[in-house]
Every structure is written in C-alpha cells, then in structure tokens.
Amino acid sequence: MASVSHPAPIHLGLDVHKDTISVGILDPDQQVPDVERITHDEASVRRLVARFPDRGWLRACYEAGPTGFELARLLHGMGVRCEVIAPSLIPRAPGDKVKTDRRDCRRLARLHRAGELVAIRIPSSEEEAVRDLCRTRSDMVEDLTRARNRLGKFLLRHGRPWRGGSTRTKVYQAWLRAQRFDQPAMTQTFGHYLAVVEVRNQALDAVEADLVGWCGRPPFAWQVTRLAAYRGVTRLGALTVAAEVADWHRFAHASQFMGFCGLVPSEYSSGSRVHRGRLTKAGNAHLRAQLVESAWSYQHRPSVGAEIARRQQGLPPEVVARAWAAQQRLSGRFRTLAARKHTKSIVAAAIARELAGFLWAEMTA
C-alpha cells in the first residue's frame, strides 16, 4: 500500500477478536476495501497506524464486544479517531447468510464511510472500573440466588419445605441449622449446599463494602446523592444507575433514555395496522434490572420513611420536591395498573419505564 497523503478520510473497519484483527482499509477512491489481518497486540496496531503519514485522516471503527474499549483508547492515544459501534444496530441484509471476518471488516468500513453506524459512548477508565465493580455485585447476587435455590430444592425433594415466609430472616437461618438427616450422605450434601450459600453471602457482603466507599467519591458522587433521593433507589442502586449511564445529557429526551434501558414496547406497524408487543429488552440489561427492582417499592402508598429522609438530608428543596412528586405519581400508577393486570411483574416493568423518565429529568434538570 502506497504511503501517500489523502485529501479525504481513510476508513478502517476492524473486526476484532482475542488474537487477531481483520482490517478493512477503504481509501477515498475505492469502493471495495482492502483486507489485512494483524495480531491483536499493541505493537501490531502501532505498526498498522504508522503506515499512514497523516493519522488525522484515519477513521476507525469496530463492534462493541468482549474485547472492551482498550483498542479504542490505544487508537485515541495515537491520534486516530475511533468509534465503537453498537452491534445490534448494524444494518444487515435479510438475504445475507454468509459471515466471515473479511466480509465483516469490509462491511464496517463501507457503512462507516456512509454514516450508517451508531456509535456508543466510550467510558473513561475510572468510570469503567466502578461500573465493573457494580456488575460484580450483580454477578454475586445471581450466584447467591442460584445457591439458595439449590439448597431450597434439595430440602423440598426430601419433604422439608420452608413455609415461614422470607428466607432472608434469622428465623430461617436457625431453621436451616436445626435440620438433621438419617443418611450420612444426605447430611454431607446438605452441608455442602449450606456452605456454598454462606460463602456466597460473604462474597456479596465484601463487594457491597467496597461499593459503599465509591458512593461518595468521584466520578459519581454527585449523581448518587441526587438519585438516592427517589424511593426504591438505594445508594448502591444509585451508584449502579450512575455507573451504567455516566453521561445523562447524551439522551435528548426521556423516551430515548427509556429505549436505552430496553423498557419501551416493541412495535411492528405497517399501513393502517398498528401492533405493539412486549418490551424490546434491547438496551442495558444491568440498568433495566436495577430500575425494575426499584419499581417494586412503589406498590406501597406514598410515604417518606427514615431511610429516605436520611438520603434526602442536605439536598436542595427542588430535588426533594421532584422525588415526592415522582413517588405520588408512581405509587398511584402502580395501584391503578395492578387492579387491571393479573401479573404484577408487567406492572413493575411499566413503573420502571416511568421511573426512568423521572430519573432522566432529575439528572438533566
């Protein structure tokens, strides 16, 4: 490839994998990109970029995926503009049933030059670090739930179901430790299941202790303070929401933020036919789960308990007023919808969508 100056941008479509990167190089006067494959390491990327005399003309892109944002940060550090593309929004022809690395990188280069790709926001290293810690807590909660379910199903199989209400109480813990079995192997099985639950509890407590320290520190301290004024949004929940969103002003309207959360209904309408279906669930799953969890608190009547009052202490009066208005609206909506719907989880999802709108309005006020 000749190293000459170009009067227009050169587009690089990068199909990134763990060990290799397929590069589609689309010069301004080309319609079909040239394709090369390089090793996925810093030295190879630097050699690729060094072949272009003016890095200011380079426009690179690659799909968001398991390799994260380190490649984008490396290219930015070398003065190359790089965008990370939302994979689900890449245009694909219905009849195109062939997928290879060469075709993918060529398509990325062509679509990027045509302006048909949607880029996602690249978080800073500090933002990503806190977000990963929040997601670690989510993973720990899932692990703990699985361990509890395995223990409960084991006891149910052997005629010992728990009927005393919540399994999060000290009464339940005392009941577990009082269980005795005639068969030694069954005793050992129960001991292993119980030990796993205890280990998972300790791991979750450790992660939450680490997260508490970040609630009052940059870069999300001011967001946590305002978000936690709302009912159902604890400080850890507020940190999770803030870490997943980071920049609220990238959403021009509340509906855009709701769509980012995957809380808007799917739609297939054509001509005079209008059909709206289930939630798209096409957005940020971690954010959506947190909002739905928070939405359940609105099944109760509006009130400001000691915990909410403590979180609202020292906040501007207008923030407290907006939080109270949201609580009145959402609590009323929850009761109204619950009277019409047989499945409360549907109601909680609807309330989560409205809560997302209130939180967006709060953070962009």
- Regarding whether 354 and 227 lie in a shared domain, the answer is yes
* Rounded distance between C-alpha atoms, residue 343 and residue 354, angstroms: 18
* Rounded distance between C-alpha atoms, residue 349 and residue 180, angstroms: 42
> What confidence score (pLDDT) does residue 62 get?
98
- Regarding whether 135 and 255 lie in a shared domain, the answer is no
- Regarding whether 87 and 16 lie in a shared domain, the answer is yes
Q: Which residues of the chain have pLDDT under 50?
A: 1-2, 4-6
Are the C-beta atoms of 304 and 268 separated by less than 8 Å?
A: no
> What confidence score (pLDDT) does residue 2 get?
47
Omega before residue 219 within 30° of 0, cis? yes
End position of a domain, from candidates 90, 114, 138: 114
- Regarding whether 153 and 39 lie in a shared domain, the answer is no
- Regarding whether 205 and 131 lie in a shared domain, the answer is yes
- Regarding whether 265 and 201 lie in a shared domain, the answer is no
- Regarding whether 145 and 92 lie in a shared domain, the answer is no
pLDDT tens string 286-318: 999 999 999 999 999 999 999 999 999 999 999
- Regarding whether 287 and 172 lie in a shared domain, the answer is no
Structural domain range at position 343: 221-363
Indicate the number of domains in the chain: 3
> What confidence score (pLDDT) does residue 275 get?
84
Closest listed residue to residue 310, CA positions, set 232, 196, 228: 228
- Regarding whether 316 and 242 lie in a shared domain, the answer is yes
- Regarding whether 242 and 329 lie in a shared domain, the answer is yes
Residue 178 lies in a domain: yes
pTM attached to this predicted model: 0.90
Residue 4 lies in a domain: no
- Regarding whether 182 and 239 lie in a shared domain, the answer is no
Residue 258 lies in a domain: yes
End position of a domain, from candidates 66, 90, 114: 114
Half-sphere exposure of 277 (CA within 13 A, CB side): 6
End position of a domain, from candidates 214, 245, 264: 214
> What confidence score (pLDDT) does residue 272 get?
83
User: What's the CATH code of the domain at 99?
Assistant: 3.30.420.140
Residue 23 lies in a domain: yes
- Regarding whether 136 and 77 lie in a shared domain, the answer is no
Residue 2 lies in a domain: no
Residue 62 lies in a domain: yes
Are the C-beta atoms of 15 and 103 separated by less than 8 Å?
A: no
Residue 121 lies in a domain: no
